[in-house]
Structure 1
Amino acid sequence: MERSEPDAADDNAMDSFLEKFQSQPYRGGFHEDQWEEAPWFGVTLSRPDLCCCRQMEQAKTYKDEGNDYFKEKDYKKAVISYTEGLKKKCADPDLNAVLYTNRAAAQYYLGNFRSALNDVTAARKLKPCHLKAIIRGALCHLELKHFAEAVNWCDEGLQIDAKEKKLLEVRAKADKLKRTEQRDMRKAKLKEKKEQTQNEALLQAVKVYFEDEDRAELYRVPPKSTLLQVLQHPRYFVKALTPAFLVFVGSSPFCKNYLRGRKVHQVK
């Protein structure tokens, strides 16, 4: 089919439009400084929305980078990458929870158990039921010898997944160590109490005196008196720069014979 010749009237109309377009700027377009507000595909993106999307993409990039370092067992670099991701402060709580949990795993392998515990605690504030965060938190408590806390974290995780193998293993180990710790504490307290009783019995058995040679009198020193208190007594005299005391076993025959007929004062 042959194309028809263009109508002269149409040509004149087009020429008129072009002349008008050149002399008068188009008012329906977007200025270069307002390109973010262009309605692409029917959606208007404001500057804050674009900023949020950019932060999220950057945080994801750092997360992926950290995961790569983690797989290579370069845990220090993994921590740095996850930290950079968290610094973006994106608005996605799930992504931030993953960054905290992954950084906790890297810190754990570096032996930084307290830092790892702080991270999983932060992750659970964002996502309380994050099972990986709970598992890693329980492991951190176990390494820090917080056995009761480890058991509690395991119990909270098992409420989410009662068959989680790692939680069951950690809980069994933590519970055993907790009971061992409690037993050792009981033994330590009994030993301490026994030693205290023995010391008190010894203090009761031992009698300490100092002698006033001028008056031929003895002064009994209370068990809890300090050396300074005794030296400050008006009837105590130091000879040859050396303090001297008489120490007896109070119930011994020698003590009884030595004290017989002597005047004894009690130091106050």
Structure 2
Amino acid sequence: MASSEAQYESDDGMDEFMDKFKTQRYKNAFTENNWEEEFDKVPMFMKKAPEEFDSETHPELACLQAIIHDEDRPPQEQAKSLKDEGNAFFKEKNYQKAILSYTAGLKKKCGDQELDTVLLTNRAAAHFHLGNMRSALNDAAAAKKIKPDHLKALVRGVQCCIELRIFADAIQWCDEGLKAHPNDKKLQELRAAADKHKRAAERDARKAKAKEKKLYGEKEALLAAVKDRGIKLLQPAQPRQHGSDSEDEDEGSSAAIRQLRVDGLSSQEVTGAQVFLDEQGSLHWPVLILYPEHQQSDFISAFCENNCFLDHLTVMFGEELPPWDTDRKYHPQNLQLYFEDEQKERLYQVNPETSLLKVLQHKRFFVKAGTPSFIVLVNGSPFWKKFLTGKKVQGL
């Protein structure tokens, strides 16, 4: 009897509670403004895990992590939990953390080949999105070794090979995949793309080789033209080869010697101009004209060997004189031209009506850095007298 009365009392109390609940709002309920924020604090509903947390700030999340990484559970369960954790990071595009989770799962060595294949393929995808193509390819290859017909591993391997521009390997991956999945459209599309890239790369390689061969032929012709004219190139300093007993080596005896001679024809001017042979067989040289009195210079990018110096001086100092010539004294008829023999510390005076070729053929003229250079002075000027004082001067 007492039990029945207690039951009635309990029921009466619940009715009273429910009546009160209908008339009063629950004080701790979520509001329309904060429910999303509050739900995001609950581990099961979090859209994104905090970057760093501990058991005090997020006790529930720490508890879940402890469950995932519980060493007492079988390795297969641990590996699966780590795979799921990696997948969650992957969806958040946190590929670095996804890689760490997948790697931790693989280290469990659970023995489940299907699970290991998925872990490797997923890690390959994370590496792929980070641009680590070689690591992604290694993971895809490891997954394919476990399961040769695993479609995702095959597709990822092809994509990595294409990104790495190893198109022949990409085609091989596709062919292996299509044996197991002959109707897979993705593999078919990737094979077509890889084949197209491969043919384009081979075409570009052929063009580059043909261009290189043409340039080589042009350089050989250029060197031959310089040699036939008796023009001497001042070669850049080169370290002596170990074991070499002779300073003199036969021209053209090796590719290194030929390249050395080509280097002697390379201009160091910022314009990039250098000597070339025209269709008529004439050489055109980049020439540097120096004006030491004013520390100025002129650069003639293509001085034909058959032209004389006066032709260019007339253009450079014609009706309009350079702004640095404040005394207006640089006129073609007032100028003297020289080249310097650095080895013998001697100046050679050049007749402005002389052709460039004749000067270059002089026994003491050496073309330095592919660019013949000359000094121009104003005849009879105070600087001219001072500059020539103590110097040995000789005519051609």
TM-score bracket, normalised by the shorter chain, equals: 0.5 to 0.7
Residue 239 of structure 1: aligned partner: 344
In structure 1, runs of 5+ residues without a counterpart are 1-50, 211-220, 228-236, 245-253, 263-268
What is aligned with 2:91?
71
1:117 Cα offset (Å): 0.5
Say whether 1:137 aligns with 2:160.
Answer: no
Indicate if the aligned counterparts of 1:52 and 1:91 stay in contact, CA closer than 8 A.
no
Cα-to-partner distance string for 1:33-63 (whole Å, 9 max, x where unaligned): xxxxxxxxxxxxxxxxxx9971111011101
Does residue 176 in structure 1 map to residue 281 in structure 2? no
Alignment of 1:1-268 (within 5 A): 54-207=74-227, 208=230, 222=251, 224=257, 238-240=343-345
Letter in 2 for 1:239: K
Determine the C-alpha separation between the residues in 1 that align with 2:225 and 2:343: 26
Are the aligned partners of 1:150 and 1:171 in contact in 2 as well (CA < 8 Å)? Answer: yes
Change (3 A) 1:79 1:241: farther
Q: Is the 8 A contact 1:56 1:90 kept in 2?
A: yes
Corresponding residue for 2:6?
Answer: none
CA distance in structure 1 between the aligned counterparts of 2:142 and 2:132, rounded to whole angstroms: 16
Q: Distance in 2 between matches of 1:150 and 1:53?
A: 41
Q: Give the distance between the partners of 1:182 and 1:78, measured in 2 at CA.
A: 38
**CA 1:97/1:76 → structure 2, altered by over 3 Å: closer, same or farther?**
same
- The separation in 1 between residues aligned to 2:72 and 2:212, in whole angstroms, is 61
**Cα deviation, residue 194, structure 1:** 0.6
One-letter amino acid of the counterpart of residue 99, structure 1: L
Once the two structures are superposed, residues 54-96 of structure 1 have per-residue CA deviations (whole angstroms, 9 ceiling, x without a partner) of 1111011101111222223222221111011011111122211
Q: Distance in 2 between matches of 1:150 and 1:169?
A: 12
Deviation at 1:161, TM superposition (A): 0.8
Kindly provide the amino acid, as one letter, of the partner of residue 166 in structure 1: K
Report the Cα offset of residue 170 of structure 1: 1.1
Q: CA deviation at 1:241?
A: 8.5
Task: Identify the range of structure 1 (186-195 vs 161-170) with the bigger mean alpha-carbon deviation.
Answer: 161-170
> Is the CA contact 1:151–1:174 (under 8 Å) kept in the aligned structure 2?
yes
Please give the alpha-carbon distance, in whole angstroms, between the structure 1 residues aligned to 2:163 and 2:211. 27
Matched with 1:9 is none
User: Deviation string for 1:93-146 (max 9, x for gaps)?
Assistant: 221111101100111111111110011111112112211101100000111111
TM-score of the superposition, structure 2-length normalised? 0.42
Identity between Structure 1 and Structure 2 (%): 54
What CA distance in whole angstroms lies between the structure 1 residues aligned with 2:231 and 2:167? 52
Give the Å deviation of 1:209.
Answer: 5.5
The AA in structure 2 aligned to 1:164 is D
Q: Secondary structure at the match of 2:148?
A: coil
| 2-structure distance, mates of 1:241, 1:88 | 82
Count residues in correspondence: 181
> Structure 2 vs 1, CA of residues 175 and 238 (structure 1 numbering), >3 Å: closer, same or farther?
same
Q: d(CA) in 1 for partners of 2:346 and 2:89?
A: 71
Report the AA paired with residue 192 of structure 2: A
- Alignment TM-score, normalising by the size of structure 1: 0.60
